[in-house]
Amino acid sequence: MHRSVLQNKKYIEFSERYTVEVISLGSLEQGVEKEDPKAATYSAKNEEGEDVEYMLEFPGLTLEQMIALRKSPASQFNDTGKIPFTCLVDPHTGEEIQRWSGGQSANTLIEAVMLARRDLIQAHGEGLARQDLREVEDAVADAKSEARAGDFSKAFRALDKASDDDAHQVLKDKVAAGREAVLKIAKEAIDDLRELALDDPSQAKRELSRLKRQLRGTALEEIVQDAIDSI
């Protein structure tokens, strides 16, 4: 089931456009305790730029997230006492649409998803394209990453590129939240340079001047200037 669906190239491409995938895995802790190879992890950075260990068999998920998912409402659909079990859920109602007990092919799921999606569109209209959502999320992640690296010009450019007055409000909100996050990182950088000024005022002033150029036109421009003037 894992290889035939969750690691199936056709299903992976299909799911990128037409589904949200949730895994609820039983007995994970026992596998970890026994150091089963299937419980192996790989190192990566999360969206906050922090080092994390993701599960090799379930990329992008940490052990803690997988345990939380198993304890979440996602696990309540399988009342059969058997695995594998698969179901489709209507995100608007939280109700189950269709279920399968036992293994299913990728094609069976694809056909069922398309039928379910047709009904969802009839009831709620077309949703946002995932590609548009990913582009904005990636831009926000890039912006935060650049900001953490100290390049606020690049951070704002990434956000500007993702900004679109005609975009869905959710996307606009995500860009706005990304801008706030970058400004928060910039404010922390200013505070750090105020600290540095106590030991090395020349260096702090140079860094603050550089920061001021990058923050021109933002709410922090005046705050940087105050920091420079205070040295």
Partner 1 sequence: MSMMRALGLAAVGALVLGGPVAAQPRRAEQPKPSVRYASTWEDALAEAKLLNVPIVVHSHGFY
Residue 95, interface with partner 1 (CB under 8 A)?
no
Least distance CB 140 / partner 1 (angstroms) = 10
Exactly one of 10, 45, 105, 121 binds partner 1 (CB under 8 A); that residue is 121
What are the beta bridge partners of residue 101? Answer: 85
Write out the binding residues for partner 1, residues 124-163 only, by CB under 8 A.
124-130, 133
Residue 217, interface with partner 1 (CB under 8 A)?
no
Give 33 or 199: the residue with its C-beta nearer to partner 1: 33
The gap from C-alpha 1 to its chain's centroid, in whole angstroms, comes to: 26
Write out the binding residues for partner 1, residues 2-31 only, by CB under 8 A.
2, 5-7, 9, 11-12, 15-16, 18-31
Give 11 or 152: the residue with its C-beta nearer to partner 1: 11
Residue 67, interface with partner 1 (CB under 8 A)?
yes
Residue reference for tokens 């608007």: 92
Per-residue DSSP letters for 95-153? -EEEEEES---HHHHHHHHHHHHHHHHHHH-----HHHHHHHHHHHHHHHHHHHTT-HH
Write out the binding residues for partner 1, residues 172-211 only, by CB under 8 A.
none
> Cβ(62)–Cβ(52) under 8 Å?
yes
> Cβ(62)–Cβ(54) under 8 Å?
yes
